[in-house]
Amino acid sequence: MIYKRSSALFAEAKKYIPGGVNSPVRAFKAVGGDPIFVKEAKGAYLYDEDGNRLIDYIASWGPLILGHAFEPVINAVIDKARKGTSFGMPTEIETELAKLTVSMVPNIDKIRFVNSGTEACMSAVRLARGYTGKDKIIKFAGCYHGHSDSFLIQAGSGAVTFGSPNSPGVTQGTAKDTLLAEYNDLTGVQNLVSANKEEIAAIIIEPIAGNMGCIIPTDEFINGLRELCTKEGILLLFDEVMTGFRLGKGGAQEALGIDADIVMFGKVIGGGLPVGAFAAREEIMNHLAPDGPVYQAGTLSGNPLAMSAGLAMLTELNNKPEVFQSLADKTEYLHKGIVEVLAKKGVPYQINRYGSMISVHFTDEPVVDFTSAAKGNNDTFKKYFHGMLQKGIYLPPSAFESYFLNDAISYTDLDETIAAVKSVF
């Protein structure tokens, strides 16, 4: 396939936009080459500026669970746009979406809509601190909760020390309140809690991780976190920006059988438009302004276009829950097909899968946390990514990202994808 126009557009974009992109992973730095510029999309397919058709395995990083340009969502947005795009005032559709969300998700009474997953996670941590009266949080290496200062922290010098900033502009003062643990290491979390007694407001986690590939928590780990938080008066925060309404109507809480204290959403809840949300039990949410002292605000929060897209998407998923099984079946089919190819070719691999999330890691070792994910062979991944791209398959341009299947993908598309893997190796 030829990508001349995409390369020309990228060269032009770099003159006016830092790195030529508005989100770093789009720049292809991890895989080399120039990014693909999309012209339009429909169903399972992207159509780029050079006229190539690509089978899409990122679905805008998760939200387009029913495929691109899904008609009920598009129609809802068009209808709402004709009546105005933003008011900075309450609208009925905000309550409609809130009511539907609360009915679908276990263990939440109220929800606040914001404009992105980053904003949802940032606000949830502020609420947790305000509710508990404590300052520190624990996050996990490899879990991404947006680019808020509190989350851009790298490991410190030991298991019980606080981290240090991993981006200029994040202060040491902010970093000292973020403690870093390893995913699936309950003992490490227990040590951090013991070393910071009565100081930790929240533990924030991707309940099924998607930002170091798809990584699944062990039962001992995720249940242990819930027990530890309950015992120590710490709030357990589930970042379900990726997993919410993708793994089932009730997200990861339902799938894992674990109740979180605050849950953050994005992606699917906006039907592809910019949106985020955080939700909790009433006694926690009542600490939020204007009812309580914890301040959070946003002019475009609850934007009618985003609310209409989200309402159309969630209504479809609520009325047709069989879509989650359909997606899981397709993901399992893809998993088995790739395994058959890589095993015959003698390529070292690990494949992690949960529901409609899946990732391929080129390593002999099980991938259970960020450290093990980082041991994958990046040269092999680059060969795989670009080889698949040449065959018309668009994968995440990073070894540290989950694939997100959409239900418009057919078994013919999956067979084409598996055949492409065979041709690459």
pLDDT digits (tens, 9 = 90+) for 40-85: 999 999 999 999 999 999 999 999 999 999 999 999 999 999 999 9
CA 223 – CA 333 distance, rounded (Å): 29
CA angle 348, 353, 359 (to 5 degrees): 50
Q: What percent of the chain has pLDDT over 70?
A: 97
Q: How far is CA 279 from CA 28, 150, 383, 392, in A?
A: 34, 20, 42, 39
pLDDT digits (tens, 9 = 90+) for 351-363: 999 999 999 999 9
295 is catalytic: no
What pLDDT, on the 0 to 100 scale, is given for residue 232?
98
Q: How far is CA 337 from CA 330, 331, 389, in A?
A: 11, 10, 18
Indicate whether 161 pLDDT > 70: no
239 is catalytic: yes
Average pLDDT estimate for 400-413: 97
- Residue 155's pLDDT band (boundaries 50, 70, 90)? low
- Point out the catalytic residue in the list 48, 56, 239, 407: 239
- Residue 156's pLDDT band (boundaries 50, 70, 90)? very low
Looking at domain 4-65+321-424, which CATH architecture does it have?
A: Alpha-Beta Complex (3.90)
- Domain boundaries defined on the chain: 4-65+321-424, 71-319
- Point out the catalytic residue in the list 80, 267, 330, 391: 267
pLDDT digits (tens, 9 = 90+) for 228-286: 999 999 999 999 999 999 999 999 999 999 999 999 999 999 999 999 999 999 999 99
* In contact, 214 and 221? CB cutoff 8 Å: no
What pLDDT, on the 0 to 100 scale, is given for residue 168?
84
164 sits in which H/E element: strand 164-165
Q: pTM score, two decimals?
A: 0.95
Give the DSSP per-residue string, 165-226: ESSTT--HHHHTTEEEE-TT-HHHHHHHHHHTTTTEEEEEE-SSB-SSSSBPPPHHHHHHHH
- Point out the catalytic residue in the list 3, 45, 144, 354: 144
pLDDT digits (tens, 9 = 90+) for 272-290: 999 999 999 999 999 999 9
Average pLDDT estimate for 23-50: 95
- Residue 166's pLDDT band (boundaries 50, 70, 90)? confident
* Greatest C-alpha distance within the chain: 61
Average pLDDT estimate for 157-165: 50
Mean pLDDT, the chain, integer: 95
CA angle 404, 102, 218 (to 5 degrees): 50
Looking at domain 71-319, which CATH architecture does it have?
A: 3-Layer(aba) Sandwich (3.40)
144 is catalytic: yes
